[in-house]
Amino acid sequence: MRSFQTERWTVDKTEQPLTTHPHVIQASLWIKKNEVIAIPTETVYGLAGNAKSDEAISRIFEAKGRPSDNPLIVHISERSQLEGLVSSIPETAKKLMNTFWPGPLTIVLPKGDEVSEKVTAGLSTVAVRMPDHDIALALIEASGVPLAAPSANLSGKPSPTTADHVYEDLKSRIPGIVDGGSTGVGVESTVVECANDLVTILRPGGVTLEELEKVAGFGHVVVDPGLENEKHAPKSPGMKYTHYAPDAPFVLVDGSPEFLQGLVDKEREAGRKIGILTTEERMDFYKADCLIPAGKRSNPETVAQHLYEALRAFNEANVDQIFGEVFPKEGVGVAIMNRLEKSAGGHIVKE
């Protein structure tokens, strides 16, 4: 493992033009040398490298400690960059791009000749999105190449929504972090695949099924039935291996607050230090060694925004066990529960 004196470059996205910002230029020079840097997007921070360079992609996997059979998402700043990355674009995919780009939607397309084979993990497709973040777009433009960018965390850990999170995980592993402040959406992009008029959700995220269904001209929007089947080769990130896990064992509790509290009491009586991942509405109900809210239950978007931050906060509390509430699987709640179930490694206790 190579070692770096990791720099932090603060960029205010209100400063214009961003493409000539000294820190954007400095970061882009590392990209041009096939190194990898952390960049902000509207979802989470990404670990970015030249999507056309095998050398850069290998360095992404090395820095993250990520298995190389997990494909990466390629980020572009304009539609013209799809040329060479993909071999064709279905009409349904074009409708999605017109509606949701730039934004937290990744589209899986037939791959072209110019994308690194390491990006696609041997698949015949490549996942592409256009981030809705001025700094990310400026970095792609300044670098002159599309950027492959998985989340900028150690593999398996909660994704980073601040530059501090990135530094905590990747200090000395990468040359630099572009600090653009906190991200907005908080969970990764939705990943979809298009076939004729059928849109299949491969990973739930920042664009909901309901929002996809509203796009005029769609026949069907469905969720991939193999989404949680770990035996299949992944078509999208987040479909293989345990993700987003805090250091302590994490268990989801599908039941009433009283049932969850009973589980906590039993563990504390045995002398264990217990944490609860909850919401602002229930902070006064629970009794535990560490209570951390991930937004408001009445506003699921706030839960998505603060989910990874909350999971990381338990590491500082040094708890022995974490219990977490479940959320309705509707709207962004589908993405929230996908991440929570991955964090828990599928461990759910039902009342």
Average pLDDT rounded to a whole number, residues 181-207: 93
Of the candidates 52, 67, 75, the residue with the CA atom closest to the CA atom of residue 138: 75
- Whether residue 70 is annotated as binding a ligand: the answer is yes
Tell me the per-residue pLDDT of 14-34, one tens digit each, with 9 for 90 and over.
998 999 999 999 999 999 999
| Mean pLDDT score across all residues of the chain | 93
Transcribe 232-271 into DSSP letters: SPPSSTTSSS--S--SS-EEEEES-HHHHHHHHHHHHHTT
Q: How much of the chain, in percent, has pLDDT values that exceed 90?
A: 84
- Whether residue 203 is annotated as binding a ligand: the answer is yes
Strands 250-254 and 220-223 turn out to be: unpaired
- Whether residue 10 is annotated as binding a ligand: the answer is no
Tell me the per-residue pLDDT of 281-321, one tens digit each, with 9 for 90 and over.
999 999 999 999 999 999 999 999 999 999 999 999 999 99
The pLDDT of residue 124 is above 80: yes
For the segment(s) 250-350, the CATH number from 3.40.190.290, 3.40.50.11030, 1.10.1840.10, 3.40.47.10 is: 3.40.50.11030
Tell me the per-residue pLDDT of 25-84, one tens digit each, with 9 for 90 and over.
999 999 999 999 999 999 999 999 999 999 999 999 999 997 778 899 999 999 999 999
Average pLDDT rounded to a whole number, residues 98-114: 97
Using 50, 70 and 90 to split pLDDT, how confident is the model at 216? low
- Whether residue 75 is annotated as binding a ligand: the answer is yes
Of the candidates 197, 46, 185, the residue with the CA atom closest to the CA atom of residue 127: 46
d(CA 295, CA 293): 6
- Whether residue 125 is annotated as binding a ligand: the answer is yes
- Whether residue 129 is annotated as binding a ligand: the answer is yes
Residue 264 near residue 287 (C-beta atoms within 8 A): yes
Which residues, 6+ apart, have CB-to-CB distance to 254 below 8 Å? Answer: 326, 348, 349, 350, 351
Q: What is the pLDDT of residue 1?
A: 83
The pLDDT of residue 197 is above 80: yes
The three-state secondary structure class of 325 is strand
- Whether residue 23 is annotated as binding a ligand: the answer is no
Q: What is the pLDDT of residue 264?
A: 98
Q: What is the pLDDT of residue 230?
A: 54
- Whether residue 149 is annotated as binding a ligand: the answer is yes
DSSP 205: -
d(CA 187, CA 28): 25
- Whether residue 138 is annotated as binding a ligand: the answer is no
Tokens of 301: 């978007």
d(CA 157, CA 315): 11
Tell me the per-residue pLDDT of 126-180, one tens digit each, with 9 for 90 and over.
999 999 999 999 999 999 999 999 999 998 899 999 999 999 999 999 999 999 9
Residue 129 near residue 149 (C-beta atoms within 8 A): no
Domains 7-223 and 250-350 share a fold: no
- Its CATH class, for the domain covering 7-223, is alpha beta
- Whether residue 14 is annotated as binding a ligand: the answer is no
What residue spans define the domains of the chain?
7-223, 250-350
